[in-house]
Structure 1
Amino acid sequence: MKLTGEIAWSTLFGGRTNAAWKGACDGEVFVAKLYSGPARNPLFPNDPRAEAQLLKSLSPSMQSPVFRAQMITDAGTCNFYDHIPGTTWQSGVAEVAQLMAALHAMPCPEGLRHAPDGSQELHEQTAKILSNCAESDLIFAVEPAGNVGKSGEKILLHSDIVPGNLIRNDTGLHLIDWQCPATGDPCEDIAIFLSPAMQLLYRGDTLTSSEVEAFFSAYGASKVRARYEFLAPFYHWRMAAYCLWQMQNGRPDYAQGLALELEALQRSKTSNPT
């Protein structure tokens, strides 16, 4: 990446972890993302090297930004990649499902972290989140019963497919913010996207039951759907714990998300009695 002229900078908003700016110079429009450092976040890691690795391996075969450069600065690591113009996703779950299915069919690079696989590993991750929370008895009290074994899958996962990381423009739907990729069970990506809390926080509303149906119809893997439905109570339990952690770390806007996840947890338990 070589620029010779003066760069016009503007701040990008929407991310909840790192600072980002749009730069324009010599006819090029790019993003500079300054990483805030190792994430304290117990659910979404923040790894600039992983993002760089993924963007290099995906471009141009996937609807993702083209990676340009990485710079180590006194303020932290900064990744540069092409800016994708457009608007954040608000509707059209079939498009998201098709993009996710295409991602899950791609070869998985070596060296990625492994996402929790099966109910036991989800339990362990959730318990770790709650160990950093005060007054967590309410969440522990609704822990799902039963056991869902590991899938053993090594699928490429984005791990943070929320509305704010989906950009739509004339060329289609694009995935941005690849700082927490993983390998593992495709249900992980599905759970994050369908999460009532994540939908509310990034889009202002939850998905309807008909939208969930349309998503799975477009994703097109009945066995994955069946597995997700067995695991749904554990995913909602984990997200409820995450919302509690956020609330106790200065983010009161997660309170409604916590309530929604607890409601979804109860519905999913009813749908999958043990």
Structure 2
Amino acid sequence: MFGGRTNTAWKGECGSEAFVAKLYSGPARNPLFPNDPDAERRLLLALADGGNTPVFRAQLQTESGVCNLYDHIPGEIWRDGVTDVARLMADLHAHPCPEGLRTVPDGSDALLKQGQEILSKSSDSPTLEALKPLGHVPASNLRRLLHSDIVPGNLIRNTSGLFLIDWQCPATGDPCEDIAVFLSPAMQFLYRGAPLTEEQIAAFFDAYGHPETATRYRALTPFFHWRMATYCHWQTDNGRTDYGAALTLELEALQRSLNSNPT
């Protein structure tokens, strides 16, 4: 199967039922998106009654690594319809959190620290250093269930609705984390070829339905864009040439956010 950027997956059949076998590549070198097969197993089991995630079947230890088996969800990768994503995300954030999940960085200081850690693994970037946001947004101390990688490639639409797949890096914390990854110009460009428009972003928040979260996200926007820019820079350093254009888009969004969020 194609689409994943970290692990390898195959579609198989057992009788009349189709399933996915995802072979994990091992602990992620990725500084932003972890890769944990046990976390995926726990989350799929915890969300089994929701109907918007694959049904987990088994976990196998193979000579090549850990392999999770779950039901295949037919359909197309999401390309439009931000209101459906917003409602799916709001439902997820209202779900009880299973135990044992990691916690995402919370607040501007933690986001800057994570971005700086990503930069430490990359070549020098005077542009990123110069655009590092100032100011302070305190931690929310929220504990919401997060997918933490809600990009178009992990959203599948069919006649039954919208489904969220690839749960290898779930977490708890500030719901702005999921929102920032989905709205990221870089991630939208890499998976569907173009960033979301301002009108689409406004429609997303209208459908999400939590004005206080929208307000907090806007305050954190420069910090999220800066962190994502450091990640794109790291990817280009590691030979992922498609992240070059993604980095440019994220830097442009960062500059706009700095202009609209003066310190």
Same fold (TM over 0.5): yes
The equivalent of 1:201 in structure 2 is: 190
Structure 1's consecutive aligned runs of 4 or more residues displaced over 4 angstroms after TM superposition are none
SS at match of 2:52: coil
Give aligned pairs, total.
263
SS at match of 1:252: coil
Identity of aligned residues (%): 65
The equivalent of 1:7 in structure 2 is: none
Shift of 1:62: 4.1
Query: Does 2:25 align with 1:36?
Result: yes
The equivalent of 1:262 in structure 2 is: 251
User: Structure 1 CA distance, aligned partners of 2:239 and 2:67?
Assistant: 26
The equivalent of 1:9 in structure 2 is: none
Q: RMSD in angstroms over aligned alpha carbons?
A: 0.6
From 188, 195, 199, the counterpart of 2:177: 188
Query: Does 2:66 align with 1:77?
Result: yes
SS at match of 1:54: helix
SS at match of 1:22: strand
From 101, 119, 143, the counterpart of 1:130: 119
Instruction: Say whether the 8 Å CA contact 1:60–1:66 is kept in structure 2.
Output: no
Write out per-residue CA displacement over residues 145-191 of structure 1, whole angstroms, 9 at most, x where no aligned residue. Answer: 00000000000000000000000001100000000000000000000
Instruction: Say whether the 8 Å CA contact 1:187–1:227 is kept in structure 2.
Output: yes
Shift of 1:135: 2.0
Instruction: Say whether the 8 Å CA contact 1:201–1:254 is kept in structure 2.
Output: yes
User: Structure 2 CA distance, aligned partners of 1:206 and 1:263?
Assistant: 11
User: Structure 2 CA distance, aligned partners of 1:137 and 1:62?
Assistant: 47
Instruction: Say whether the 8 Å CA contact 1:45–1:180 is kept in structure 2.
Output: yes
Give 5+ residue unaligned stretches, structure 2: none
SS at match of 1:72: strand
Write out per-residue CA displacement over residues 202-222 of structure 1, whole angstroms, 9 at most, x where no aligned residue. Answer: 011110110000000000110
User: Structure 1 CA distance, aligned partners of 2:124 and 2:60?
Assistant: 41
User: Structure 2 CA distance, aligned partners of 1:65 and 1:244?
Assistant: 33
TM-score (norm: length of structure 1): 0.95
Query: Does 2:201 align with 1:212?
Result: yes
